[in-house]
Chain A
Amino acid sequence: MSSVPVDPVTLAVLKGRLEQIADEMDATLYRSAFNPIIAEARDACHGLYHATTGDTLVQGTKGLPVFVGAMAFAVKAVIDKVARDGGLEPGDTFIFNDPYDGGTHLNDFRLVRPIFRDGALFCWLASVGHWLDIGGNVPGGYNPKATESFQEGVRIPPVKLVEAGRMRGDVVDILAANSRVPMSNWGDLNGQLNALDLGERRLRELLDAYGDGVIASAFEAFSERAEALMRAAIRALPDGTYAFEDVLDNDGIVDEPLTIALDLTVDGDTMSLDFSRSSGACQGPINISYATTVAACYVALKHLFTEVPANAGCLRPIRFTVTDGSILGARAPKPVAGYTETILRLIGVVFGALAQADPTRATAAPFGTINALSLAGHRADGSRWVMFSFFGGGLGGNPESDGLNHANNPISTATIPPAEILEASYPVMFTQWALRPDSAGPGAHRGGLGATYEIEVLSPGGAEVSLLGERGKVAPFGVAGGGPAALNRFAWQTAEGWETAPMVSKITNVRLQAGQRVRLDTPGGGGFGNPLARSRGDIERDLRLGYVSGEAARTLYGWAGVTTGAAA
């Protein structure tokens, strides 16, 4: 199909129309999904992708940020499969979760559908959503002890779920047989199909209204525009190389820190991100694939350069250097379930390097761990229950404000399930759901506060607990003179009292009896600017509200007053 020139006004109109399609696909899945990680936590994403390259053409404005960058690789995996095996037909929909071929981890199921026009492939629609359980040693998939992907769950390469409009029951049966909660997955799968059906309908209406050539030209124009904006943003940074590194506590198997190191070079309107000095692949599940590394850098840059639109064009001025087979360029079957922890560290490292290049755009480190916590057991009637959730912490101080208290990580816009929904769904009782005083990094603008969650098991048979988290040994850093936040802490009750894990935030198979509790204290964000420069009024407000203790105010902020309030 030939491309046609599109005037700037029509472009502005089409931008809104196309984003609306992706947004609507997101909304459809959120509302019809079964598991709270999609329905409440919005761990999903939809978009339109280039017919031959798989490049991102249009993304929803609400999709999970990390998927925005990773989806292009997922579509490319299907494109490669079709090139290899052939057989692509209108009405097909592919499904897969292979993390080495499209990024992230096994729980993220991708559905990829070709859109044909006049017998030729026009573009792809894709949907990704986090399914609750896909087998493996640990319910929920976050197995901190995994040393091979086989212990994390079942791995599905791109296969046809729908063939020329006909659902393949055999594929559905394979998926069902490999999960602890097949009905939940079945519900989510239908939700994703709903989203694709709707997106396809809307896209066809738009193509009919404007003509395929106009839409194809608009896609290219959007990419060019994103590229131009990204180049303008890079050009505004001073040329030079900025080095920054941070570490992960351990991989859950060997208690040694793992380095994520970045040499970021700005050269005119191009940028190079060189991760060569990072650690090699590790035994535990915190490796990530090259696709995931690129996706995470994209998230970091998009948070700093918010004016650049979300499509493939913005990555054109950027070069990535990642050592093949390293922790950031892992290959099968290295375990990857805990990929979130590694990309959070990686995003922080990009923030840290760019804070040197341009402090006016700086953000101190966010809390930096998702704390994937699962509690599982059996109800009185013998049915199995798995409560699985991620938890919040503080964002980093920044030139504009203190960090946000109890927020989500930069890779996600997920809302946390309400305690009441969790208590109504599982035999647990929260005994604390609170901000955590003294958890924020000090600064002229301090970090946001982390949180404390304490959960008591109610089911008579007790529960089995696993956690995959980070920031237990090295705290979220401050920038521009700001200080680090508090460390992540995890503890559980035994007959002898509270216990903690040797790997701090990574543990499996902790047995709890009914009436015993687990407690998670999450980090705040790092501070921005010298804490001694924080206004006395703000310090006293922090004391009055109990965000900061009197002792911390004296030692960290040089406050000389006397505590009288209810400060913790």
Chain B
Amino acid sequence: MSPAPGAIVGVDVGGTFTDLFFYDEAQGRFRTAKVPSNRGDEAVGFLEGLKAFGAVADLSSIVHGTTVGTNALLERKGARVGLITTRGFRDVLEMRRRDRRHTWGLWGDFVPIIDRDLRLEVDERVLADGTVRQAVDEGQVREACRTLLGLGAKALAIVFVNSYANPENEMRALAAAAAAWPNGDVACSAQILPEIREFERTSTTALNAYLQPVVGSYLEKLDGALQTEGFTGRFHIVQSNGGVMSTQTARRLPVRTALSGPAAGVIAAAAIASAAGFPDVITGDLGGTSFDVSLVVGGGTSLAAQTTIDFGMVVRTPMIEITTIGAGGGSIAHVDAGGLLGVGPESAGSRPGPVAYGGGNTRPTLTDANIVLGRINAERPIGGKLARLDVEAATRAIEEHVAGPLGLDVMSAAEAIVRVANAKMAGAIRLVSIERGHDPARFAAVPFGGGGALHVGALIKEVGLKAALVPRYPGVTSALGCVIADVRHDGVQTVNLALDGLDAAALDARMIAEADAARAVVEAARLSVERIDVVFELDMHYVGQTHTVSVPLPVTAEGGTTGVDEAVIRAAFEQAYQASFSRLLPGLGIRIVNLRTAVIGRRPHFDLAALAPGPDASLERARLPSRRVWFDGAWHEAAVYARLDLPVGAVIRGPAVLEQPDATTVVDPDLTARVDALGNVIVERA
């Protein structure tokens, strides 16, 4: 198939594989590809994957979910950064919020991403009300730049105290520094995060600078490679908020790519589930070491204002809220001195991996338990790298490390491992649903990635979910997400306004200005969109509180005004506060702390029917030899099917196993699976 104009490719570069999803908008056709990732030189796998669809020059647009930023953060492989800050405040980044790594236990230290000798102070001061008490001394800024360059700094961050209230000194320092700095990797905190709280703002600005050269050179390399191939289309990046941005914006705000890859997966899972009639879902990505869950309500993803990448490394920018727990396929099962069984957080990861992979690990993992129970097919391992899995070794490991200490037989021990892991996953789902006031009976689980579909039955039963929906291609969900994600730009500004006697006209003007600025970024991305939405949210609280509630405003920007007024804001606040805390506190003053603006360019509708099984799919064709699978204390003869060959409307009663190259779906004896019109497998109570 030769790509026609209008072809778009989503590329998700993971640690082991690069997944690609090709979609020809004109003809409504798609293809997928999977190639090995080339760590350190991702461009190689990237291009190789693209070429699987024909000439790269024929593509009109490429959207990329990347982990380059994530990895640079986690592995501390960012650039050497210099920081210029207010006199007296050079140590903010290192002092953090005075926290420690663990509640219990006092060991361990902390190394900030910018060493102390690369953090310099200049004379300047702005007060909390925005008054400039002391103008910045630009000569000192230039001198600091020279010192930092002499020390080998490649990127520069400028963060002044209270710059959220008035960026004047910071912007003047930025101008002086930009003239003295040999490259464009210079930013001040008012450009990155004009929000109150100096540590969070410093950390976010510093991490942005830390990533700028890394992400910049990565994108440059990809751009170069694409140009060599004659590509003249548009090249975009998925942000942590699940929206798409231009590579130009990504180079300016690389910190917004910190969760790019996982965000794309959640976007796709939400879209697939909505199209299938499940607007309320909890997505779950079970990897080697962790289980990542995210809540989707009414088809929309939830955003968190802040994420901690690692101890002391805080990124404050809207990100799809992903809750991670330490339970993955490689999580190690163990029995402690008090006789309690645990699974994880210690993990064998993908290397050496589960015992059955023969990579040298001898302690049993969750995957080993699934193999011993017959849920994973040992004869046809996922990924296709191994010919066969070593069931005997997995059995021995469970016998020695779990069955023996607990006084159980080995099958009961394997089942116990799966139960404890299920309980942890269920806990994570409860955390994002019940604990936020959502009734789980309304929700379906959407597992994506390789492992989640093994556990859907337990999640339905343990949490009380309505159903589970396994997308037709769980392994390429993130790549698909790249193709369908909207274009988006978020902004935040601390405003600190009392609601009583609010100058609504001034706030309105500010909202319009923020909306216009964000809209310009979205339009500059030049991706085709059906319409552009402007969404406002205020962070508000009662005077005296320090935490805030997010208050979505029922207004948008039209004809140069939002029409916002005091009464509209008060009603919205009281509704949001009541939903969070049940008790309103009448008579207390109310304050607007931050204004959050999101501008979203809605992409053309993507018809997921393109993914549905063809007319030649049939139950007979899909049927594979049955095999024994252990459920609830006994072996059951389970039907086995090649999942991709199942026709629309097929209904399969448990116990059954549905196999496909990149995932295994287990249907428990008391559950039923059916294939919907889009080719998704819906697992429900029988």
Least CB separation from A229: chain B residue: B338
The reply to whether A24 and B435 form a contact with Cβ atoms under 8 Å apart is yes
In the complex, which residues of chain A have a beta carbon less than 8 angstroms from the beta carbon of B496? 424
How many interface residues does A have (CB within 8 Å)?
88
Closest Cβ–Cβ distance, residue B574 to chain A (whole Å): 14
B520 at the interface (CB under 8 A from A): no
The reply to whether B339 and A415 form a contact with Cβ atoms under 8 Å apart is no
The reply to whether B95 and A435 form a contact with Cβ atoms under 8 Å apart is yes
**Given the contacts A28-B581, A433-B88, A566-B117, A415 and B97 also touching, CB distance less than 8 Å:** yes
Interface membership of chain B positions 183-212, coded 1 if the CB is closer than 8 angstroms to chain A and 0 otherwise: 000000000000011111000000000000
Which of B67-75, B417-425, B612-620 forms part of the interface with chain A?
A: B417-425
The reply to whether B100 and A34 form a contact with Cβ atoms under 8 Å apart is no
Interface membership of chain B positions 577-593, coded 1 if the CB is closer than 8 angstroms to chain A and 0 otherwise: 00011110100100000
Which of B219-227, B354-362, B542-550, B647-655 forms part of the interface with chain A?
A: B542-550
The reply to whether A429 and B95 form a contact with Cβ atoms under 8 Å apart is no
User: Interface SS of chain B: helix, strand, loop or mixed?
Assistant: loop
In the complex, which residues of chain A have a beta carbon less than 8 angstroms from the beta carbon of B585? 186-187, 190
Least CB separation from A310: chain B residue: B104
**Given the contacts A36-B546, A225-B340, A430-B88, A403 and B423 also touching, CB distance less than 8 Å:** no
In the complex, which residues of chain B have a beta carbon less than 8 angstroms from the beta carbon of A40? 546
B154 at the interface (CB under 8 A from A): no
The reply to whether B583 and A193 form a contact with Cβ atoms under 8 Å apart is yes
The reply to whether B98 and A392 form a contact with Cβ atoms under 8 Å apart is yes
**Given the contacts A419-B161, A421-B546, A13 and B420 also touching, CB distance less than 8 Å:** yes
With the chains together, A366 CA to B104 CA distance in Å? Answer: 14
The reply to whether A432 and B88 form a contact with Cβ atoms under 8 Å apart is yes
Least CB separation from A525: chain B residue: B106
B51 at the interface (CB under 8 A from A): no
The reply to whether B104 and A421 form a contact with Cβ atoms under 8 Å apart is no
Closest Cβ–Cβ distance, residue B408 to chain A (whole Å): 9
Within 8 A of B (CB), among A355-384: 363, 366
A180 at the interface (CB under 8 A from B): no
Least CB separation from A41: chain B residue: B98
In the complex, which residues of chain A have a beta carbon less than 8 angstroms from the beta carbon of B545? 32-34, 39, 187
Which of B5-13, B107-115, B169-177, B277-285 forms part of the interface with chain A?
A: B107-115
Interface membership of chain B positions 421-445, coded 1 if the CB is closer than 8 angstroms to chain A and 0 otherwise: 0011001001100010000000000
The reply to whether B88 and A431 form a contact with Cβ atoms under 8 Å apart is yes
Interface membership of chain B positions 381-419, coded 1 if the CB is closer than 8 angstroms to chain A and 0 otherwise: 000000000000000000000000010000000001001
- Our pick among A31, A431, A433 for the contact of B92 (Cβ within 8 Å) is A433
A15 at the interface (CB under 8 A from B): yes
Closest Cβ–Cβ distance, residue A372 to chain B (whole Å): 15
With the chains together, A184 CA to B272 CA distance in Å? Answer: 47
- Our pick among A12, A20, A420 for the contact of B198 (Cβ within 8 Å) is A420
The reply to whether A9 and B420 form a contact with Cβ atoms under 8 Å apart is yes
Least CB separation from A436: chain B residue: B91
B102 at the interface (CB under 8 A from A): yes
User: Taking each of A366, A410, A414, A418, which has the highest tally of chain B beta carbons within 10 Å of its own beta carbon?
Assistant: A418
**Given the contacts A407-B99, A414-B98, A423 and B162 also touching, CB distance less than 8 Å:** yes
With the chains together, A544 CA to B104 CA distance in Å? Answer: 32
In the complex, number of A-B residue pairs with CB atoms less than 8 Å apart: 210
In the complex, which residues of chain B have a beta carbon less than 8 angstroms from the beta carbon of A432? 88-89
A250 at the interface (CB under 8 A from B): no
- Our pick among B105, B341, B583 for the contact of A303 (Cβ within 8 Å) is B105
Closest Cβ–Cβ distance, residue A329 to chain B (whole Å): 26
**Given the contacts A12-B342, A187-B545, A433-B89, A62 and B108 also touching, CB distance less than 8 Å:** no
With the chains together, A399 CA to B339 CA distance in Å? Answer: 28
**Given the contacts A12-B423, A228-B338, A546 and B117 also touching, CB distance less than 8 Å:** yes
With the chains together, A183 CA to B583 CA distance in Å? Answer: 15
Least CB separation from B162: chain A residue: A420
- Our pick among A39, A392, A401, A435 for the contact of B547 (Cβ within 8 Å) is A39
**Given the contacts A16-B424, A395-B106, A406-B98, A418 and B340 also touching, CB distance less than 8 Å:** no
Interface membership of chain B positions 145-182, coded 1 if the CB is closer than 8 angstroms to chain A and 0 otherwise: 00000000000000001101100000000000000000
The reply to whether B104 and A20 form a contact with Cβ atoms under 8 Å apart is no
With the chains together, A403 CA to B427 CA distance in Å? Answer: 34
A404 at the interface (CB under 8 A from B): yes
Least CB separation from B587: chain A residue: A183
The reply to whether B98 and A435 form a contact with Cβ atoms under 8 Å apart is no
Least CB separation from A363: chain B residue: B106
With the chains together, A451 CA to B89 CA distance in Å? Answer: 11
The reply to whether B117 and A9 form a contact with Cβ atoms under 8 Å apart is no
The reply to whether A392 and B95 form a contact with Cβ atoms under 8 Å apart is yes
In the complex, which residues of chain B have a beta carbon less than 8 angstroms from the beta carbon of A324? none
B125 at the interface (CB under 8 A from A): yes
User: Interface SS of chain A: helix, strand, loop or mixed?
Assistant: mixed
A493 at the interface (CB under 8 A from B): no
B90 at the interface (CB under 8 A from A): yes
The reply to whether A545 and B98 form a contact with Cβ atoms under 8 Å apart is no
Interface membership of chain A positions 13-43, coded 1 if the CB is closer than 8 angstroms to chain B and 0 otherwise: 1011100100010001011111110011000
A174 at the interface (CB under 8 A from B): no
The reply to whether B435 and A20 form a contact with Cβ atoms under 8 Å apart is yes
In the complex, which residues of chain A have a beta carbon less than 8 angstroms from the beta carbon of B77? none
Least CB separation from A565: chain B residue: B117
B103 at the interface (CB under 8 A from A): yes
Least CB separation from A429: chain B residue: B127
Closest Cβ–Cβ distance, residue B684 to chain A (whole Å): 21
In the complex, which residues of chain B have a beta carbon less than 8 angstroms from the beta carbon of A183? 544, 588
The reply to whether A423 and B339 form a contact with Cβ atoms under 8 Å apart is no
A454 at the interface (CB under 8 A from B): yes
Closest Cβ–Cβ distance, residue A266 to chain B (whole Å): 18
User: Taking each of A8, A33, A566, which has the highest tally of chain B beta carbons within 10 Å of its own beta carbon?
Assistant: A8
Least CB separation from B415: chain A residue: A9
Within 8 A of B (CB), among A388-417: 392, 395-396, 398-408, 410, 413-417
B94 at the interface (CB under 8 A from A): yes
Least CB separation from B133: chain A residue: A429
Interface membership of chain A positions 32-71, coded 1 if the CB is closer than 8 angstroms to chain B and 0 otherwise: 1111100110000000000000000000011001000000
Closest Cβ–Cβ distance, residue B407 to chain A (whole Å): 9
Closest Cβ–Cβ distance, residue A454 to chain B (whole Å): 7
The reply to whether B96 and A406 form a contact with Cβ atoms under 8 Å apart is yes
- Our pick among B109, B427, B435 for the contact of A16 (Cβ within 8 Å) is B427
**Given the contacts A12-B342, A307-B336, A406 and B94 also touching, CB distance less than 8 Å:** yes
Interface membership of chain A positions 442-466, coded 1 if the CB is closer than 8 angstroms to chain B and 0 otherwise: 0000001001001000100000000
Closest Cβ–Cβ distance, residue A534 to chain B (whole Å): 14
In the complex, which residues of chain B have a beta carbon less than 8 angstroms from the beta carbon of A187? 542, 544-545, 585, 588
Closest Cβ–Cβ distance, residue A315 to chain B (whole Å): 15
With the chains together, A406 CA to B110 CA distance in Å? Answer: 10
With the chains together, A383 CA to B500 CA distance in Å? Answer: 18
A232 at the interface (CB under 8 A from B): yes
**Given the contacts A15-B340, A31-B580, A39-B547, A429 and B196 also touching, CB distance less than 8 Å:** no
**Given the contacts A20-B435, A225-B339, A545-B116, A420 and B546 also touching, CB distance less than 8 Å:** no
B128 at the interface (CB under 8 A from A): yes
**Given the contacts A9-B416, A229-B337, A366 and B106 also touching, CB distance less than 8 Å:** yes
In the complex, which residues of chain A have a beta carbon less than 8 angstroms from the beta carbon of B339? 8, 225, 228
A2 at the interface (CB under 8 A from B): no
With the chains together, A272 CA to B583 CA distance in Å? Answer: 47
Closest Cβ–Cβ distance, residue B201 to chain A (whole Å): 8
Can you list 26 A-B contacts (CB < 8 A)? A9-B416, A12-B340, A12-B342, A17-B427, A20-B431, A39-B547, A186-B585, A187-B545, A190-B581, A191-B581, A229-B336, A232-B337, A395-B106, A400-B107, A402-B109, A403-B106, A404-B109, A406-B96, A407-B106, A424-B496, A429-B125, A433-B91, A434-B90, A448-B109, A544-B115, A544-B117
B positions within 8 Å CB-CB of A: 88-92, 94-110, 115-117, 125, 127-128, 133, 161-162, 164-165, 196-200, 336-342, 406, 416, 419-420, 423-424, 427, 430-431, 435, 496, 542, 544-547, 580-583, 585, 588
Sorted nearest first, the 6 A-B pairs with minimum C-beta distance are A415-B97, A225-B338, A13-B423, A392-B98, A416-B98, A432-B88
